[in-house]
Amino acid sequence: MGNHSPEAGHPLGTAGELLARHQDFSDPYPLLAWLRDNEPVAQAGDMRFVTRYDDVVTVYRDERFSRARQAEAEINANTGDIGDDQDLKNARRAFTSMLIHMDEPDHRRMRHILEGAFKPSSVVTWLPRVEAITHELIDKVRDKPRFDVLKDLAFPLPEKVICELMGVPHEDHALWGAWTDTIVRAPRTYAPSAEQIAKIRDAQRNFYHYFRDLVRQRSKNLSDDLVSALIRAENEGDKLSELEVLGTLQLLIMAGHETTATLVVNGTYLLLKHPDQYRLLREDPELVGAAVEEMLRYESPSHWSLPREALVDVPMGDVVIPAGAPVVAALNSANRDPTRFAQPDQFDITRKNNFHIAFAAGPHFCLGNQLARQEARIMFKAMVTRLPELHLTEVPELKDSFVRGYESLVVTQG
């Protein structure tokens, strides 16, 4: 990777171009490797782009980097001047009240309330339903000569699971699915267009109205679902505010299906691009746990961190990240760092000691990681044992999204 000097730059582009045109990079890994070797804390305008494993972990763990400050800046940029629109103000506050946008101590308080619902012992009780939904979906595609993995398997599974856990009507998934897509596609590293701002405003307002009305209705008839649990939630007498509840529900819907669906699609594509690994998994389905971990490492669905703001000057390696600078940590680069992984560019479903950070690190380690892992394991085991051999029909198109995924993944069987 050291064929080019830092002065000459990498022939594929710069960190700034990668940030602005990430959806155009079908293979960003040669550029990321060059950045790790030559410019591990790269500057892209005012932003810093961090690519080494240890530095990425530092960005997640170090409280000198604020997600809350950057979330405020993003939502302001992505929705523009909202004047006296109180509903949109509330929607913005609910959005920035999500767990993933909080700094300490609010983050710790909120996470403590939610941890009980997502601890491993709780996830185990959900697995029979995850398996039942998975096999219902597999039954529907078994006799189809051609189907879309995204539409027919990857999205319906986590959608149905999270709807049942939350007590949200599944028939509403088309609504919040569209709102989620708009928000996930929202620019975080460059200025949005007027059309994008209008769509993001509508999505934020619609999410706010939807969950505000749902919480008001559920408050009259509490049950054992997650919505009811959040309404009841108390942590040493400190209840969640209404906007914190609404933001948390929006996060659960968004994170509860988007990244898991992307993991299933990306993983399927990886297996089909690596027929030796696909064959190995079909011959030994018990490798599915290690296979899912390798999918997470090799093509991380959340390929970058959400941007954070440096609160003070922060030394990192040979440079200083200045106070006020937004910082993006490249998870997909960290998970290919050769100082942490042997033969990092090889897709190997038998890999041992796979300490990837696809679910982030530190206090912001993904709360729903166990559920996502179990959903993916159950789905892939069903795919390799119950479906005929799958084949690609075409190279899928990458989504223009902060999540690295595909618009569809059409396959044939047999």
Report the CATH number at residue 272.
1.10.630.10
Q: Tell whether 118 is covered by a domain.
A: yes
Q: Tell whether 2 is covered by a domain.
A: no
What pLDDT was estimated at residue 231? 83
CA triplet 71, 75, 78: central angle to 5 degrees? 135
Domain count, the chain: 1
Please say whether the dihedral angle defined by the alpha carbons of residues 331, 336, 340 and 341, taken in this order, is positive or negative.
Answer: positive
What pLDDT was estimated at residue 86? 92
Burial degree of 54 (CB within 10 A; 0-12, 13-18, 19+): middle
Q: Tell whether 278 is covered by a domain.
A: yes
* List of E strands, 47-113: 47-50, 65-66
How far apart CA 388 and CA 163 sit, in angstroms, is: 30
Q: Can you tell me whether residue 131 is helix, strand or coil?
A: helix
Q: Tell whether 360 is covered by a domain.
A: yes
Q: 353 Cβ partners below 8 Å, 6+ apart?
A: none
Q: Cβ distance 293 to 356 under 8 Å?
A: yes
What pLDDT was estimated at residue 313? 98
Q: Tell whether 305 is covered by a domain.
A: yes
Return the percentage of the chain with pLDDT > 90, whole number: 53
Instruction: Please state the rounded mean pLDDT for residues 114-118.
Output: 78
Q: Which tokens in the block code for residue 251? A: 């996060």
What pTM did the predictor assign?
0.89
Q: Tell whether 207 is covered by a domain.
A: yes
Count Cα atoms within 13 angstroms, Cβ side, for 55. Answer: 27
Q: Tell whether 7 is covered by a domain.
A: no
pLDDT exceeds cutoff 80 at 84 = no
- Least confident range from 135-139, 150-154, 239-243, 266-270: namely 239-243
Q: Tell whether 214 is covered by a domain.
A: yes
How far apart CA 93 and CA 205 sit, in angstroms, is: 11
- Averaged pLDDT score across all residues of the chain: 88
- Least confident range from 9-13, 149-153, 350-354: namely 9-13
Q: 274 Cβ partners below 8 Å, 6+ apart?
A: 347
Domain encompassing residue 339: 15-413
Helix, strand, coil percent content, the chain, rounded in steps of 5:
55, 10, 35
What pLDDT was estimated at residue 234? 52
What pLDDT was estimated at residue 174? 78
Q: Cβ distance 116 to 122 under 8 Å?
A: yes
Report the chain's terminal Cα–Cα distance, integer Å.
Answer: 40
What pLDDT was estimated at residue 23? 57
Burial degree of 23 (CB within 10 A; 0-12, 13-18, 19+): middle
Instruction: Please state the rounded mean pLDDT for residues 58-69.
Output: 95
What is the number of H-type helices and E-type strands within the chain?
A: 17, 12
pLDDT exceeds cutoff 90 at 132 = yes
